[in-house]
């Protein structure tokens, strides 16, 4: 049997458009001799559809889309079978009223053949709000090429059951164990699993464990694309019973690949050799580029705008934006104040030149003077200290929003995760924007990623992303500069914060590992520093609640998966 693995990039809620994409994939698969087409979890809806699932009209559209798929196959007298992810209405009266399900679609009709058993409701997931769990294992029998195939069917979380690999697992049944007495010939896992560092390797280890337990190959098919703050990396694959990879689809790119389930060692040439996984910095860069590209496209933006300061954060966002949208569709504003160094202005212009970005320079000194004059009567004196520094940021934020509004651009905010964590950012200033591109990337990671981008190791990736292949992009002058917001003379970030290596180590422990002060002190950290960072993290919650959506590229981002109260002790 030949299976077409369709690593699909759906648009959430676009049932008609997604069905058309699936039907186009079916036509391509049939032309290449496929028998069965696989699409990701909830592929008709795009993942996650969230409260769109609660709209009855959308469920009617799903019925029409499924009937359209049947008609599309019937019109070609196709013998192709298709597995598509749907939201199946429950026959009962209780809530929630849906199953996360798979439908088998053929020219003669469609039927539900599997229901998801383990429903995640942690981090960014909230499936128990919408779905009931399936209760029984799913085995699909298909007659193809003179053989009756027994296909075990699982959906995303149903594969995540190995406590020895995960540390802990979702409470509930073990869908892999339930399939063991049914002796499947293949296990299919159709997923929508967001990107996180190291996650592609973990998925392969989980699939390898399932393959060993069931004594059969495992096909893992993942959604690809950016949907709001989530980035799905694809990275689909097939593993043998031994755990060896037999097939690998690309990271962060739509793809369709044929895999021959009946291939013997002598026939292995029919299946292409699996490509190696990209290095971690390349995976991170590709995920960020994909997140920006899809957020802009799916929200209807053709162009983007950012403020370019000559610092490393805005430099990295500029590189990502140029790769995501093309440099001709990215504009940068330079907004120097009296405290902006000549070096920073020079570095910003040089970076824009290397990337091919259009720039405009809007000095803010006259606006700073006007604000001072306007506020002095109310304050009894000119704004000073933190108030004056925040005014500079808010002036810049206002200018950026005005240009973005006038020219219909997506404003990209350039703050990093370290700043967002401790509140080293200004509401209605540098936090302005429609998307926080690197809001889930710590400052130390920003430096490391920029160093990799400027290294020879990144050359092939840069070419693939449409960036210049030769020479530095970010540039040594920017990478080696001491971090500074340049809001007052000789300012350094270290005047207000611990050094970033220390700060990021503490933040990772507090945010991603959920460790407390006593655990960190016991591990050797200085109590005063730990308690200061915890205080900053807690006090900044109200700022984060008002931030632009943050592209999630870590195990724990600030966003829908971070649910801390604002008014709390």
Considering the candidates 26, 88, 127, 156, report the single residue annotated as catalytic: 156
Concatenated DSSP letters of 513-565: S---HHHHHHTT--HHHHHHHHHHHHHTHHHHTTSPPB-B-SSS-SSTT----
Q: Which two tokens stand for residue 563?
A: 């649910």
Please tell me which residue in 41, 88, 157, 486 is annotated as part of the active site. Answer: 41
Q: Where are the alpha helices (DSSP H) in 364-442?
A: 365-379, 385-407, 417-422
Select from 10, 7, 551 the least CA-distant residue to 291.
551
Give the CA-trace dihedral at 400, 405, 409, 411, to 10 degrees: 40
Note whether 353 and 507 are within 8 A (CB). no
Q: Greatest CA span in the chain, whole angstroms? A: 90
Please say if 389 is a catalytic residue: no
Strand partners, 87: 100
How far apart are alpha carbons 35 and 144 in whole angstroms? 7
**For residue 7, what is the enclosing H or E element?**
strand 2-7
Q: Quote the Cα angle for 199-47-137, to 5°.
A: 75
156 is catalytic: yes
Q: And the tokens for 185?
A: 């010939």
Whether 410 and 436 have beta carbons less than 8 Å apart is answered as: no
Number of H helices, E strands in the chain: 18, 20
Query: How far from 315 is each of 75, 286, 476, 497, CA to CA, in Å?
Result: 52, 16, 12, 21
**Size of the chain, expressed as the number of residues it contains:** 569
In angstroms, the CA 186 to CA 494 distance is 56
d(Cα 208, Cα 236) in Å, to the nearest integer?
13
417 part of the active site:
no
Supply the DSSP string of 48-83, one letter for each residue. --GGGGG-HHHHHHHHHHHHHHHHHHHTTT---EEE
For the beta carbon of residue 537, count every other beta carbon within 10 angstroms.
18
In this structure, the dihedral spanned by the alpha carbons of residues 186, 190, 193 and 197, taken in order and rounded to 10 degrees, is 30
Among candidate residues 88, 116, 508, 552, the one labeled active-site is 116
Residue 148: its H or E element: strand 147-155
Distance of alpha carbon 21 from alpha carbon 29, whole angstroms: 12
CB-based contact 116:131 (threshold 8 Å): yes
The Cα–Cα gap between 555 and 198 comes to 10
As annotated, the active-site residues are: 41, 116, 156
């Amino acid at each position: 049997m030949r299976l077409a693995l369709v690593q699909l990039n759906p648009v959430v809620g676009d049932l008609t458009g997604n069905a058309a994409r699936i039907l186009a994939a079916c036509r391509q698969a049939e032309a290449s001799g496929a028998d069965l087409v696989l699409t990701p979890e909830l592929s008709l809806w795009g993942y996650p559809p969230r409260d769109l699932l609660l709209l009855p009209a959308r469920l009617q559209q799903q019925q029409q889309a499924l009937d359209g798929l049947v008609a599309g196959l019937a019109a070609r007298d196709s013998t192709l079978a298709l597995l598509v992810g749907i939201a199946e209405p429950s026959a009962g009266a209780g809530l929630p009223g849906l199953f996360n399900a798979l439908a088998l679609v053929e020219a003669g009709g469609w039927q539900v053949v599997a229901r998801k058993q383990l429903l995640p409701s942690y981090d960014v997931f909230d499936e128990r709000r919408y779905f009931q769990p399936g209760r029984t294992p799913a085995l699909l029998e298909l007659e193809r090429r003179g053989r009756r195939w027994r296909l075990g069917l699982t959906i995303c979380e149903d594969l995540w059951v190995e406590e020895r690999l995960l540390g802990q697992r979702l409470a509930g049944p073990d869908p892999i164990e339930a399939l063991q007495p049914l002796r499947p010939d293949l296990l299919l896992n159709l997923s929508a699993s967001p990107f996180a560092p190291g996650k592609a390797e973990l998925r392969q280890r989980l699939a390898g464990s399932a393959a060993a337990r069931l004594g059969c190959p495992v096909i893992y098919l993942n959604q690809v694309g950016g949907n709001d703050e989530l980035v799905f990396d694809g990275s689909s694959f097939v593993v043998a019973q031994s755990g060896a990879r037999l097939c690998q689809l690309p990271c962060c790119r739509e793809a369709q690949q044929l895999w021959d389930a009946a291939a013997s060692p002598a026939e292995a040439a029919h299946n292409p050799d699996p490509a190696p996984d990209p290095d971690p910095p390349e995976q991170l860069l590709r995920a960020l580029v994909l997140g920006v590209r899809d957020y802009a496209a799916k929200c209807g933006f053709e162009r983007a705008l950012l403020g370019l300061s000559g610092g490393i954060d805005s430099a990295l966002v500029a590189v990502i934006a140029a790769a995501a949208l093309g440099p001709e569709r990215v504009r940068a504003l330079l907004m120097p104040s009296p405290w902006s160094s000549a070096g920073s202005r020079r570095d910003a212009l040089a970076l824009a030149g290397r990337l091919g970005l259009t720039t405009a320079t809007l000095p803010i000194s006259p606006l700073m003077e006007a604000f001072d004059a306007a506020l002095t009567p109310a304050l009894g004196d000119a704004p000073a200290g933190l108030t004056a520094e925040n005014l500079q940021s808010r002036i810049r934020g206002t200018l950026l929003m005005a240009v973005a509004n006038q020219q219909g651009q997506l404003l990209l905010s350039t703050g990093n995760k370290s700043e967002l964590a401790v509140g080293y950012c200004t509401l209605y200033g540098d936090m302005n924007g429609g998307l926080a591109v690197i809001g889930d990337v710590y400052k130390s990671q920003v430096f490391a990623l920029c160093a990799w981008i400027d290294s020879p190791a990144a050359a092939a990736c840069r070419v693939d992303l449409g960036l210049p292949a030769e020479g530095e992009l970010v540039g040594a002058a920017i990478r080696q500069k001491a971090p500074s917001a340049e809001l007052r003379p000789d300012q350094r970030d270290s005047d207000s914060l611990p050094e970033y290596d220390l700060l990021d180590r503490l933040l990772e422990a507090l945010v991603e590992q959920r460790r407390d002060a006593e655990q960190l002190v016991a591990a050797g950290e200085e109590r005063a520093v730990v308690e200061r960072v915890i205080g900053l993290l807690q006090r900044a919650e109200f700022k984060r609640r008002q931030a632009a959506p943050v592209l999630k590229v870590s195990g724990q981002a600030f966003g829908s998966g971070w649910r801390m109260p604002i008014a709390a002790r």
